[in-house]
Structure formats: structure tokens, C-alpha cells
A and B are shown apart, each in its own frame.
Chain A
Amino acid sequence: MARLTRRKLTPTDIVMWTIGAILIALILWGSIATLARGAYSLDHWIDFTIFGLAQGSIYALIAMGYTMVYGVLRMINFAHSEVFMSGPYTAYYVAAYFYRSGLLEAHPVLSMTMVFLVSMAVSTLIAYLLEMIAYRPLRSAPRLVPLITAIGASFFLQYVFRGLYGSGFQAYPVIRALEGPMYIGPVRILKFQLLVIFAAALLMIALYQFTQRTRLGRALRSVSEDKEAAALMGVDVDRMISMTFMIGGAAAGAAGVLYAIMFKQVHFFMGFIPGLKAFTAAVLGGIGNIPGAMLGGIFLGLVESIGPSLFLDGLGITAPYQLKDAIAFTMLVLVLIFRPTGILGERLAVKKA
């Protein structure tokens, strides 16, 4: 049971809380000033929100992989960025082929399904191999060792894909059916954004239902609680760990195509920032917690898209949108100061007590 022990206030605590208080004061001041100036109309805010939701759904989907792997292995798979990149980058060639042959134009649903499947398959395979080759032999090593390996694997994959496909940006073909806006009531939403939000939500709900309702999902949860006890119930723990990586990989592969649809390009380095953001999202939501990662992702996407205009415009900062990454990582710092276990993460605190 969690005991409530009053910790003594250390000087570090005071400094941290002061920093936190200043940041929150700045955010409040900036927001009020922005709203008072009225530089943005309601339509602007709606656009920001929808963009944030779409971006956040992608973060959330990538964050599934971080949070699930952490759940079973208590390790951050920093090569997950590259799992995310490998799928859509490979699937780009399929998409480009469909585009040239006219199939993309004639049968957009069929060809996009193919692109999704290829991307998910490649990311799943990479995630599987990563676990087998880079992490499994180090299962009983000190925690720092697989972390270093993860970073090494991350570089390795980046440069393998750079070697395979070149170092330039590749423009993802535009899908005509997904261009332009549509209206839900009075709200104007870009079609591809709607697809991103819808597809990501669908996948995440499916994933959550899988962990909650199925026999394998239950086994997965039991492995994340106590590997040895799960093995004593007849669960093949190694297989469940493989499966966790593969599920995370498939989600990342799907997220990758959604990302490519949204930003219309792929690159060997494309995983780095979204990967870090998704990791942030997982921490925001409480790492190891699947609904937490979903919430954290959406929250981060929204803060990132609404935040620059809302918080910074009023402070007189020009081109605030350039600072969206700074805002995202500031959120990470704030969460780590005020609620290290994340939004839904009560379990770490309970474990320590």
C-alpha cells in the first residue's frame, strides 16, 4: 500500500517549483494577453485544434510502442523512432509505384490499404528483429546497457535506410481523394486530417480492446506485472515480449503512413522528432499505461498546435510557431517536476512506496 510520507523540502525542490511557477505564470500571462488582443478568430482556434488532434493522434499511436515495451521490459526503446521511419519510407516506393501506374488515382482505397499494410509489415519486422538481435541477448544486463544499445540501433537503422534509399527527402504522392476540406456541421476540416484522426482512433481502440478483452492481451498484462509468475501460468514470456514489440511496430508503421499523408514527405531522419515527441507523450500520460499514452499524445499535439499562438503571441514573440518544439519539451519538464508519474501513472508511485 502507498504510504503518505512527508518528504522534507530540499533546495532543489524549491528551485524546481520556482521554475515551474514562473513557466505557468508566463503561460497564463501570455494566454490572457493573446486573447485580449484578439488577433485570432474562432476559425483559427478551430483549425489549430483539429491540426493538434491529428498531430496528437499520430504521437499517441507511436507512443503505444514506447509505453507497451516499457510496460513489459521497463526499458525505453529509443530505436522506436526508426521503427516508425522504416515502414512509411519503404512503403513510399509502393505508393510512388501506384501513383506512376495510375492505380492510386483509380483505386485510392485499395492502393492506400496496400501502402498501409506494407508500412505496417516493415515496421513490425524491424521491431521484431530489433528485439531479437539487439535487446534479447541483453535481457539480464544492467539497465543502462540496453539503453545504449537502443541508441546504437537507432543510428544503425537511420544509416541503413539512408544507404538503401538515399539521403534526400522523398515527396509522398498526393492522394486527390484526400485533398480539400469537408464540413462537419459548421466545422471545416481537411479530409486527410479527418482520416488521420479517424484511423488513429480506430487503431488505438482496437489495441486497447485487445489488451483488455482477449486472452493474449490478458497474458500481456500479466507479463508486464510479473514475468516469472506469468511463466508459471504457462505464458511463453519471450514470445509475449516479441509480440509487444511487433504490436508497437505495427502501430508505428500505421502512424508513419498517416504522418506521410499529413506532411507529404519521408526522409531517413523523419523519425527522430516525432519519436521524441511520442516518448514525451508516453511520459506525459504515465509510461507503461496505454490509455495514458493516448491521452498524452493528444494533449501534446494540442498544446503544440494551440500553444505557440496562445501562449507566446501575447508575449510579443514573433514567429511563435518556430517554438512549438520548445513548448512540447517544456511540457515534459513541467510534468517531470509536478507529476513525475504522468497523468494516469499512479502505479510507479505505488511501486516505490
Chain B
Amino acid sequence: MAMLEIRDIHTYYGNIHALKGISVEVERGEIVTIIGANGAGKSTLLKTASGILRPRSGSIRLEGRELTRLAPHEVVREGIVQVPEGRRIFGRLTVLENLDMGAFTCSDRRRNAANLERVFTLFPRLKERSRQVAGTLSGGEQQMLAMGRALMANPKILLMDEPSMGLAPVLVDGIFETIRRLNEAGTTILLVEQNARMALQVARRGYVLQSGSILFSDAAAPLAENEMVRKAYLGEH
């Protein structure tokens, strides 16, 4: 049984049918990516999985537990943690306070301290700036903070929404390198990306999403070779 099972999800924005029966599975320890154009429903899918949007039908299960009707703050407690699109760090809080917010659901001090140590090892930059107000960080540092903050929540699975968005190419490599390292250390990741090339390099499997439906899915390597994918998402002709 897959760790995360999203089955036949239908989500609406008002009258707009945004997700038309989507099913996605993620096995423990995998990186799975969802690629697709702007407006295909990638973010909608992650928002539905996090409980921000309520699906009209379908089910979301984590390790067999039904999470479909839970509110976002309850979903986090179950172990689905999202790094939202656009980072959404708390700009007026310090870096350390942001990380503490990540640990909001966990009151085990020793565990939080260990997590903090781990985040600082992963992103030494954050340690240097821990007393700084987060709004003053650069874009790349903010992305690190958003990831660090999510890691503080003890995720069973990390949902990442466009982590490379708006970052300089040099930083994008760093972010994907971090994703790979996180995964090697045991974190399961569901990655939504417009940068399909990079996403397919780190992922094991991928789904192609188009106007609210899964077009097809495959292992990452064959997907990267797929002619349709190459034309539509990798910009090759």
C-alpha cells in the first residue's frame, strides 16, 4: 500500500471544476513529481491534500488513515507538511521564530532541538541569520527557511509547491540538491514544479497534469524521453 494515496479527487473553485478525478500515489521514500503548465491544477492538488481546499468527492489517505475531511492544521499533525508556493515565510518574525512556528505542532523539546540542529546543518546560512527578521532574507534564503520550517514539523511526507519559482538559476541547482539530500536522508517528497527538467532529474516517478486531469504517469527517465513531455514541458522541438 502506498504511503500517500490520493484517489479520484474532484475539487472546485466555485463553479470551476479544477481537479477532475485525480489519483496520485506516493510510496515511502520516493520523490514523485507532478509536472504541468500554469493553471493545470498542480497547486490546487497540493492545497487539497493539505486541507486548504475541500474536495467535493474522492479520498486522501496517509498510511491508510483517512484525511479527506480534516482542516489544514489537523492535516499537518498527521504528517503531511507543505512548503507553499511563493515560500510564504513570516516576514516580520525572525528566522528562529519562523522555525519555531514550524515546530508548532510538536511540544517535545528534545525533538525540536534535534530538528533545529538538523535544519542548521542543512542550511548553515539560516544559523548565521537566526536572529534576523525573515523579511530581510534574500529569495534563496527564504526558500531555505520555508523548507527548514517545514522540516521542523516532522513531516512524513513533504509537499513542495514550485520551490524553484523566482530563483536565480544558480540557486535552483542548490534547491534541487537539497531536495535530493533530504530524500536520501529518508523524507518522502511530492514535488510540484514548472521546471520539469530539474524535477524529472530528482524524481523517481512523475505525473503529467493537464487541465485538471492526469494525462499519464511513468518513471521519471522514460517521462523525460517522452516526446509529448519534451515538446510541452521541456521546451524542446
Give me the interface of A with B, judged by CB distance under 8 Å: 215, 218-219, 221-222, 225-226, 228-237, 347
A-B contact pairs, 9 of them (CB 8 A): A218-B101, A219-B101, A229-B88, A231-B52, A231-B72, A232-B81, A233-B101, A233-B104, A233-B153
A226 to chain B: closest residue by CB:
B88
Decide: A230 and B71 in contact? CB cutoff 8 A: no
A225 & B90 in contact (Cβ 8 Å cutoff): yes
Besides the known contacts A225-B92, A231-B52, A232-B82, 11 further A-B residue pairs in the complex with CB atoms under 8 A apart: A215-B100, A219-B104, A222-B93, A222-B101, A229-B89, A231-B73, A232-B72, A232-B84, A233-B104, A233-B149, A234-B104
Contact A218 B81, beta carbon cutoff 8 Å: no
Check A228–B88 contact: CB distance below 8 A. yes
Q: Which residue of chain B has the shortest Cβ distance to A238 in the bound complex?
A: B71
Q: Which of B50, B77, B101, B153 contacts A230 (CB 8 A)?
A: B101
A218 engages B97 (CB within 8 Å)? yes
Which residues on B sit within 8 Å (CB–CB) of A225?
90-93
Interface size of B in residues (CB-CB distance below 8 Å): 24
Give chain B nearest CB distance to A78 CB in angstroms. 26
Are the C-beta atoms of B88 and A234 separated by less than 8 Å? no
Distance in Å: Cβ of B67 to nearest Cβ of chain A: 14
**Which residue in A215, A222, A347 is a CB contact (below 8 Å) of B90?**
A222
Q: Which of A221, A226, A234 contacts B73 (CB 8 A)?
A: A234
Closest to B135 in A: A350
Is B196 interfacial (CB-CB < 8 Å)?
Answer: no
Residues of B with C-beta under 8 A to A229: 84, 88-90
| Residues B97-132 near A (CB distance < 8 A) | 97, 100-102, 104-105
Interface residues of A, dominant DSSP:
helix
B62 in the interface (beta carbon within 8 A): no
By a CB distance below 8 angstroms, the chain A residues around B191 are none
Q: Is B22 an interface position by the 8 A CB rule?
A: no
Q: Known interface pairs A232-B50, A232-B81, A234-B153. Does A347 touch B104 (Cβ–Cβ under 8 Å)?
A: no
Question: Shortest CB–CB separation between residue A219 and chain B, in angstroms?
Answer: 6
Closest residue of chain B to A237 (Cβ to Cβ) is: B73
Cβ–Cβ contact A236 & B73, under 8 A: yes
Q: Which of B73, B91, B93 gathers most chain A CB within 10 Å?
A: B73
**In this complex, what residue of B is CB-closest to A229?**
B88
User: Smallest distance from the beta carbon of A329 to chain B beta carbons, Å?
Assistant: 30
Contact present for A221 and B92 (CB under 8 Å): yes
A228 CA to B84 CA, complexed, in Å? 9
Q: Is the CB of A234 within 8 A of B90?
A: no
A218 CA / B90 CA spacing, docked (Å): 10
Task: Specify the chain B residue showing the minimal Cβ separation from A347.
Answer: B92
Contact partners of B82 in chain A: CB under 8 A: 232
Contacting residues, chain B, for A230 (C-beta < 8 A): 90, 101
Residues A233 and B102 in contact in the complex (CB < 8 Å), given A228-B52, A228-B84 = yes
A225 and B89 alpha carbons, distance in the complex (Å): 9
CA gap between A281 and B84 in the complex, in Å: 37
Query: Which one of B72, B77, B93 has the highest number of Cβ atoms from chain A below 10 Å of its Cβ?
Result: B72
Contact A234 B77 (CB under 8 A): yes
B49-91 interface mask toward A, CB cutoff 8 Å, 1 = contact, 0 = none? 0101000000000000000000111001100011010001111
A221 partner, pick from B90, B102, B105, beta carbons under 8 A: B90
A221 engages B93 (CB within 8 Å): yes
| In the bound complex, CA of A234 to CA of B77 (Å) | 7
Write the chain A residue with the least CB distance to B52: A228
CA distance A157 to B105 in the complex (A): 38
Q: How far is the CB of B214 from chain A (nearest CB, A)?
A: 24
- 10 closest A-B pairs by beta carbon, nearest first, are A234-B105, A234-B76, A229-B88, A231-B72, A234-B104, A236-B73, A222-B90, A225-B90, A234-B73, A233-B101
